[in-house]
Amino acid sequence: MSTPAPTFIVIAKAPVAGRSKTRLCPPCTPAQAAGLAEAALRDTLDAVLAAPAERRVLVLEGEPGPWLPEGFEVLRQRGDGLDERLAGAFEDAAADGTGGAVLVGMDTPQVTPEDLTAAWDALQAADVDAVLGHAPDGGYWSIGLRVQDRSVFVGIPMSTESTGRDQEGRLRALGLTVALLPEHRDVDLIGDARAVAGLAPGTRFARALADVERTIEIAR
């Protein structure tokens, strides 16, 4: 039996000043934080475009902008909290269930096409139902599911130091076999931004951060 072609989902918020990456302020201004958010999102979308795939889906809060390349289906986020929005993303983007889907956020601009392909390949293993990539802050940067089920997500406390552990626990409690992906650091605070830029100096995100840092230094 041939391996199903990949479906990748990016769940993201349109980069808008005052609404995007606000935890980078200070030292960033709201406009600078939104610029960094856009750079991170563009890097993520580029990685997904470069990975072999049948479908590439952006599940978006807000409006598409010039940062959106061709090659993505765009769906609206739905649900009250992130747990419901994640459930909705899988329901809407991977409804056919053929091979499932792998989802990433916009907070890991260092992600590579190879990371995405490895996640998909891990999900297709005969004894695997789900994949999960933890983040050092206690969250997670990626999740993949073979079968869509709202109970995977709904009720999981999001954006806490135990979200990743809680999510893995929920998957296992549902009887799913989980393969863990390599850990990646999310960009939330300025220290995260600097660390991620150091890991991936060739990204748009790293260049955008360097521009911001120069502005901050001049303003001192």
- The verdict on residue 65 lying in a domain is yes
Rounded CA separation 69/92 (Å): 21
Q: Considering its fold, how many domains does the chain have in total?
A: 1
- The verdict on residue 15 lying in a domain is yes
pLDDT the model gives residue 198: 97
Domain CATH for 46? 3.90.550.10
Query: Which tokens sit at 113?
Result: 């096409």
Bridge partners for 104 per DSSP: 10, 142
- CA angle centred on 41, ends 185 and 219, rounded to 5°: 80
Whole-prediction pTM: 0.94
Sheet order of strands, 55-61 included: 73-76, 55-61, 7-13, 101-104, 140-145, 130-134, 178-181
Cβ neighbour number for residue 176 with a 10 Å cutoff: 18
- The verdict on residue 154 lying in a domain is no
CA nearest to 69, candidates 105, 102, 42, 104: 42
pLDDT the model gives residue 5: 87
Read off the pLDDT of residues 133-175 as tens digits, 9 standing for 90 and up.
999 999 999 999 998 899 999 999 999 999 999 999 999 999 9
- The verdict on residue 200 lying in a domain is yes
- The verdict on residue 56 lying in a domain is yes
- Per the structure, the complete domain to which residue 215 belongs is given by 7-122+183-219
Read off the pLDDT of residues 24-37 as tens digits, 9 standing for 90 and up.
999 999 999 999 99
- The verdict on residue 87 lying in a domain is yes
- The verdict on residue 202 lying in a domain is yes
Rounded CA separation 150/85 (Å): 10
pLDDT(66) > 70 = yes
